[in-house]
Structure 1
Amino acid sequence: MYDYAQVHVKYTIPPAIVLTIVLAPLFTRRDIFKICFLLVVAVAYTIPWDSYLITTGVWTYPSDVIVGPTVFDIPAEELFFFIIQTYITACLQILLSKSVVTATYLHNEADGQDPVGRSLKKRKRVGQVILSLCSILPLFMRGGHATGTYMKLILVWAGPVLFMLWTFAYQLLLTFSWSKTWLPIMLPTLYLWVIDTLALRRGTWCIESGTKLGIQVWPHLDIEEAVFFLMTNTLVVCGSIAYDNAAAVLDAFPSTFAVVPGIPSPALLLKGIFLSTSKYDIARIRGLQNALEVLARKSRSFYLASGVFAGRLRIDLILLYAFCRVADDLIDDAPSAEEADSWVKHFSNFLDTAYSPKYDRARFEQALAPFPAKAQSILVLLPTDKLPPQPLYSLLDGFRMDQRFFRKGPNQDPPIQTFADLERYASCVAATIGELCLSLVYQHDPDHLTDETTKQKCVAAGGEMGRALQYINIVRDVTTDAQSGRCYIPNEWFNKSSASSPVKHNEEVARHRKRILDIAFAIYAENRDAIEELPRYARDGIRVAVESYMEIGRVMRDRMQEGKPLDFTGGGKKGRASVPKWTRIWVGWRTMAGWRGSA
């Protein structure tokens, strides 16, 4: 009795609960709005079609398997199926796409130098032809209760909507990896095929034999049911990706869409989806692609954390971090001190030009000219209108301190002579990044509810947290830094008499590493509560960025306590302490779920 309700209790509600638990810490406002929008559309569009199937006898339900209440002859359990299936599939698509910066998959199809864009235009037309035929040809099939009626009704119902969604979102559907498109379609489809097989075998619902083709995928699963669940999940995934496509266009092109609220209105989303691809700023897209590539190679902790941010804040944070990484690579990897100095001057000149009150295009292009092409594409996108200049100049001061390692003569003291020198260095290269990140957070805050006092407190705490993370970095990289002629442990800490004994020297270095690590955790403990005062929309992302890096410190602290060497490989470069990818993902999830790391 009440078999249909039991289907939900046993098979559909549990995976929905699991997905909710997994996704709850990761949900953004846009995610929630998208799911609600898809639910409303799915239910509203399916009710008339499903009601027709039931009233014409294509589908039937024994009276003892349903609770009783109906809407337009549709059992309450059936209505709930529309909701729960849409919810499960949408959640899965959101979860699998969290790491994607959707704007990087947009293409200007009028750009002759973009072979992908040119191919997309042709493939779009092929898809439209196929979906048009799927929508129109069933109309010429025999009507009534003739064989094939159910399949005809499925195709006529789903085909036009798929045609529309394909037309809107074909770029992403064609360029996303299979794990972002086919996987969220096929996983729930296969699962629902199994549920449907069990329900048909038990007689929970049945299809009239005169309306189906009589072909079975496997025993008890008719081809029509298999196609129905494949179509419905495809509709949900394509609808979700079409929403992402519209939001990506809005976020990617501030010159076209000056203001984009946290949750774009349906009218604004339509403007985004209808914007001609020929108007896409291809230079901006390529610059963002290059920035993301730099982060994926050079800053895995932030690359992971960036998936928690949304909209233009995420894009601007990626561009800021990529700028810092490009500067670090060009200056740090320079073959000589003279060339490193030259790069510092080039960056300083670039900032002077970018922050000049009077924009001079010729001067700006001249300032960009010394940089490699990929670096230029990133630098030109640096959101200087939202960033204060002073921290960026301080960052260059930190690079200048680095270069003193290569200028010191045989009788000259190292640059990091005292702990005050170490503090100043960490403030230049890391505290500045914390300040810049929080500047972007407040610039993009959709609510603007934070008072000035709280802002100043959080920005100051962000600078301190940046220092703590730099200390973690220094402790981790002692060996690799030494190989390149650098030592960030204050020189005054060393006992000069131990220098002649490698064993004593190594023991002393280990003590100093622990000392710096303890300082890092003390700063972290003192400032981590300030994260809770950040705007809610960015709080989780900042927390993940901090905790994923502090986890490296925790791993090192544990190894120190166990007497193990710190220079190991856990997914990073040889000789550098790191945290495996899945551990970082776990740390990120538990952090967003409200679990606080140890200080």
Structure 2
Amino acid sequence: MGYDYVMVHVGYNIPVAVGLTTVLWPFMTRLDWMRIFTMITKALTATIPWDSYLVRRRIWTYPREAVTGYTLCCIPLEEVFFFVIQTYNTGMLYTILTRRLVFPAFVRPAGIKLFSVGILVPARAGAIGVKYLLQGGRYTYMGLILAWACPILLVQWAIAGHFILALPRREMVLSVMLPTTFLWTVDTFSMRWEVWRNMDVEETVSFLLTNVLIKLDPGFMARLGKAVRCLAISSQSMYMGSRMFRGPLRLDLIFLYSFCRVADDLIDNAPDRATAVTAIDDCKTQLAHRFSPGWETQGELQPSELSEARTALPASRLRIAPLQGLLDGLRTDTTFDRESGVFPIDSEDDLNRYAYHVAGTVAASVLDLVFHHFPHHASTTNATTRREVVVAGGQMGQGLQRVNIARDIERDARIGRVYLPTVWLQHEGITAVDVLDNPDSAPVKRLRGRLLVKAQKLHDEAVGALAFLPPEVQGPRRTTIASYMEIGAALLRGDRAPPGEKLQLPLLRRAVIAFRAMTARA
């Protein structure tokens, strides 16, 4: 009786499991835990009969001085626990590496050549395994590994090969090779049990294969892929927040954010005012078309990025009014005119109105989706609570828009816009034209600070309403809000983006923000 194998778990496998769990726990959903539990169950079901056969035939043995002596189907309990801990660690690592991915976007046909190779390789390897088994001798163990694992791999590939080929290579390779390399290292330095001398290659193949072991509308898939790319490129904070959501609500939010982003970009990137006004009118027309009864049969508008974003909108779960309000806010962007001296944000009330239209309305649409997906929660069913949540959402949106304005003063100046109220500018003794000419002047810096102080005040007044939302929503919403507010804090510290770019937070900082937001208590 010994504890060598137990100490391998204590020294290597369990610390890894604890570390992965600590990092990922705030981001895990019930579905994630169910997936890992299912994988562990399948691993035990598939592995125990196979390993029991190896032990009974003495192809694989465990020195008595290395194990405690307690067994299940002749397999030491330490080995049974290894099946569990290996599956758990690999599953958790895969969850971490693929958290950013929106999996339905990768459900699409793959090249027949690569798919065929994926069929032929495990089929050929399985045939070799059967050959080794029939020959017996020193290749028996390798034959058993291949004959056991390859049929399972073949079935997996036949069912999900197209999906696997579409997934990003980096995440897939790392999720297999990191745990495999770890197990190779542990086996090399800690576990010196011999099956046959100089035949350690079987162990490496076994670890590799066991880690590997671990139809929708194509138009929908294409639109989802474009929406994800649009969001990832154009709106870091919204994209990070959407990663924390799971399931249908996440998809709806991605499509909503994508429409808002596409509409905003059409205005910001228009070469002249006339083009921008035409873009707004087009957005209004397409939005009305999407929300009209029987819109699918009314004839498709000319294909464009906007029409695709409009088509993807989950209109049955949204109200049109907030989105129309968004477009009204974006129309304000078309009225700036340096030559005629028109700067529409004259007072703080104008700023409040604009911030609500371009951000508070988006918050209202997000809440529409939350109410739809959580129909029995108090925030949906209780009229008073629902009203408080909606008001707080609009207020939070106004605060976050102030952060946006403070961040983009220089970028907006390059396209002739000044969102700082004229009365504020007069108080500092400057004009909107002065901001356009020198957006980094001392008076402008003071006004940026004033914007951020007000943003913090609005945030502090509204953030308590998060406690009224469903628990599944609180953490992701807090992540989005905290990301914006951290950008505001960085601006107050004097951080600036390279010329022509938006200020963005470093990846590690974003990860820390998400962890804190997901673990925070209401």
Mapped to 2, the partners of 1:148 and 1:51 lie a distance apart of 18
Mapped to 2, the partners of 1:503 and 1:50 lie a distance apart of 74
When normalised by structure 2's length, the TM-score is 0.93
Q: 1:235 matched to which residue of 2?
A: 213
Matched, 1:347 2:286: no
1:584 to 501, 510, 516: 510
Structure 2 residue ranges without an equivalent (≥5): none
Q: 1:438 matched to which residue of 2?
A: 367
- Aligned-residue offset at 1:460: 2.0
CA, structure 1 residues 148+585, in 2 after alignment: closer, same or farther (shift >3 Å)?
same
Q: 1:246 matched to which residue of 2?
A: none
Aligned partners of 1:284 and 1:377 also within 8 Å: no
Aligned to 2:138, the other structure's residue is in SS state: coil
Q: Deviations over 1:24-80 (max 9, x none)?
A: 111122111100000111011111111111111111122222222211111111111
Mapped to 2, the partners of 1:318 and 1:78 lie a distance apart of 44
Q: Deviations over 1:96-145 (max 9, x none)?
A: 001111122121x4xxxxxxx3x1x3322232222122223322335596
Aligned partners of 1:498 and 1:505 also within 8 Å: no
- Aligned-residue offset at 1:488: 1.1
Aligned partners of 1:394 and 1:432 also within 8 Å: yes
Aligned to 2:315, the other structure's residue is in SS state: coil
Mapped to 1, the partners of 2:520 and 2:122 lie a distance apart of 46
- Structure 2 counterparts to residues 47-196 of structure 1, below 5 A: 47-107=48-108, 109=109, 117=110, 119=111, 121-143=112-134, 146-196=137-187
Q: Deviations over 1:172-194 (max 9, x none)?
A: 32222232212111111111111
Aligned partners of 2:118 and 2:157 also within 8 Å: yes
- Aligned-residue offset at 1:447: 6.2
- Aligned-residue offset at 1:332: 2.4
- Aligned-residue offset at 1:156: 1.3
CA, structure 1 residues 383+407, in 2 after alignment: closer, same or farther (shift >3 Å)?
farther
Percent identity over the alignment is: 37
CA, structure 1 residues 504+154, in 2 after alignment: closer, same or farther (shift >3 Å)?
closer
Aligned to 1:7, the other structure's residue is in SS state: helix
Structure 1 residue ranges without an equivalent (≥5): 110-116, 217-221, 237-274, 560-565
Q: 1:304 matched to which residue of 2?
A: 240
- Aligned-residue offset at 1:536: 1.9
Mapped to 2, the partners of 1:497 and 1:360 lie a distance apart of 52
Matched, 1:540 2:469: no
Aligned partners of 2:336 and 2:344 also within 8 Å: yes
Mapped to 2, the partners of 1:497 and 1:435 lie a distance apart of 35
Aligned partners of 1:96 and 1:179 also within 8 Å: no
Mapped to 2, the partners of 1:391 and 1:25 lie a distance apart of 32
Mapped to 2, the partners of 1:504 and 1:446 lie a distance apart of 47
Residue identity matched to 2:516? R
| 74-83 vs 481-490, greater mean Cα deviation | 481-490
Aligned partners of 1:394 and 1:429 also within 8 Å: yes
| 168-177 vs 30-39, greater mean Cα deviation | 168-177
Aligned partners of 1:290 and 1:374 also within 8 Å: no
Q: Deviations over 1:352-407 (max 9, x none)?
A: 22222x32446452xx32xx623322221111111111100101110122222138
Q: 1:459 matched to which residue of 2?
A: 390
Mapped to 2, the partners of 1:508 and 1:141 lie a distance apart of 80
CA RMSD of aligned residues (A): 2.4
Mapped to 2, the partners of 1:157 and 1:142 lie a distance apart of 11
Mapped to 2, the partners of 1:345 and 1:587 lie a distance apart of 39
Q: Deviations over 1:487-507 (max 9, x none)?
A: 111111233783399999933
- Structure 2 counterparts to residues 242-321 of structure 1, below 5 A: 275=215, 280-321=216-257
Mapped to 2, the partners of 1:194 and 1:124 lie a distance apart of 32
- Structure 2 counterparts to residues 348-387 of structure 1, below 5 A: 348-356=284-292, 358-361=293-296, 363=298, 365=300, 368-369=301-302, 373-387=304-318
Mapped to 1, the partners of 2:363 and 2:106 lie a distance apart of 29
Q: Deviations over 1:135-179 (max 9, x none)?
A: 233223355962211111111111111111111121232222232
Aligned partners of 2:39 and 2:87 also within 8 Å: yes
Matched, 1:17 2:8: no
Q: Deviations over 1:424-452 (max 9, x none)?
A: 00000000111111211222238646432
When normalised by structure 1's length, the TM-score is 0.81
Residue identity matched to 1:456? R
- Aligned-residue offset at 1:454: 2.6
Aligned partners of 1:287 and 1:374 also within 8 Å: no
Aligned partners of 1:478 and 1:487 also within 8 Å: yes
Task: Pick the structure with more helix per residue.
Answer: 2
Mapped to 2, the partners of 1:360 and 1:143 lie a distance apart of 65
2:347 to 409, 418, 434: 418
